[in-house]
């Protein structure tokens, strides 16, 4: 595939690190009670991407994850009889056919981590073919990783090109571009990579693969949300956001939703525009929903052992 020519892009603004930390602290202090909290918990559940991405993945393990995805909407506990399904199940491209069969007719999206996840250290033609095969097998969404080494070396034209070509290879599937913010070192780099990905055609920008520490943080997420807000004002385009890795509790999830609401507005509080890459989050969200109904905590074992 022929390389593309990167257009002249507007410069990304410098990030006020102190200002980012102060704003995150203020937003984290917000408190949500009663009915509003239940609504937020259900919303968070609808935004979770359940994921299995290990070298030990088998068809049986993927089927188990898909079964969990279907059962989370009706776990049979107090207050949990009117729940949304999760946003997506995310697997390696080789497991897409298995997950596709299991999720048929559920409304749950199927995502695949193509493009040589998690490192991206493969030739671009190989990564593009990986993407096309995943979409042909039934993936609704592709989570790609950018070449962080190229970006940090200043070869932003290469990164723009790989994102644009991957977007073209996605066809009808949505493209989520993983920046791997834990390797980008500075907020200025995160902002520049966010802007680059959106201009190159990303439908979502995503913090992390979950294999690098730190993964998602509220501060990095705020920088990316502000980039989305500025891009929307400049172009009118709606870009989604996905923090991934390290979000384990319902309390954390609600803090992220507050941040989205305050930065982007109510319009972004929808699974088509915001996701959590946090499989372990689902159980805690369900425990909190049941607690709001019954007044007491259920064991996490009642929901899922995985």
Per-position b or e across 78-97, b if 16+ CB within 10 A of its CB: ebbeebbbbbbbbbbbebbb
**Which residue in the list 167, 195, 206, 284 is annotated as catalytic?**
206
CA angle 202, 197, 252 (to 5 degrees): 80
C-alpha neighbours within 13 Å on the C-beta side of residue 148? 22
DSSP letters for 143-179: EEE--HHHHHTT-HHHHHHHHHHHHHHHTTSEEEEE-
Could you confirm whether 206 is annotated as catalytic?
yes
Beta carbons of 258 and 26 less than 8 angstroms apart: no
> What is the widest separation between alpha-carbon atoms in the chain?
60
Could you confirm whether 140 is annotated as catalytic?
no
275 phi and psi, to 5 degrees? -135, 155
**Which residue in the list 49, 143, 203, 284 is annotated as catalytic?**
143
Could you confirm whether 100 is annotated as catalytic?
no
**Which residue in the list 68, 100, 167, 242 is annotated as catalytic?**
242
- Active-site residues: which are they? 143, 206, 242
């Amino acid at each position: 595939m022929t390389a593309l020519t990167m257009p002249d892009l507007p410069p990304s603004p410098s990030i006020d690190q102190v200002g980012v930390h102060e704003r995150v602290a203020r937003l984290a202090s917000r408190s949500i009670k009663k009915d509003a909290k239940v609504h937020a918990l259900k919303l968070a559940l609808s935004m979770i991407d359940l994921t299995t991405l290990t070298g030990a993945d088998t068809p049986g393990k993927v089927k188990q994850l898909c079964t969990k995805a279907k059962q989370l909407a009706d776990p049979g506990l107090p207050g949990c009889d009117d729940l949304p399904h999760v946003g997506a199940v995310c697997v390696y491209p080789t497991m897409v056919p298995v997950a596709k069969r299991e999720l048929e007719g559920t409304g749950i999206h199927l995502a695949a981590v193509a493009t040589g996840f998690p490192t991206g250290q493969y030739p671009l033609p190989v990564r593009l073919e990986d993407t096309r095969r995943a979409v042909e097998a039934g993936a609704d969404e592709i989570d790609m990783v950018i070449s962080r080494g190229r970006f940090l070396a200043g070869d932003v034209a290469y990164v723009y090109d790989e994102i644009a070509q991957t977007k073209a290879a996605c066809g009808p599937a949505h493209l989520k571009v993983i920046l791997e913010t834990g390797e980008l070192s500075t907020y200025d780099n995160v902002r520049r990579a966010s802007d680059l990905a959106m201009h190159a055609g990303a439908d979502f920008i995503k913090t992390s693969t979950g294999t690098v520490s730190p993964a998602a943080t509220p501060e990095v997420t705020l920088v990316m949300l502000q980039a989305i807000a500025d891009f929307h004002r400049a172009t009118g385009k709606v870009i989604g956001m996905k923090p991934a890795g390290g979000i384990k509790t319902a309390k954390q999830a609600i803090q992220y939703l507050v941040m989205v609401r305050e930065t982007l507005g109510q319009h972004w509080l929808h699974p088509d525009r915001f996701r959590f890459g946090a499989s372990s989050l689902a159980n805690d969200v369900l425990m909190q929903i049941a607690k709001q109904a019954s007044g007491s905590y259920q064991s996490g074992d009642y929901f899922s052992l995985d």
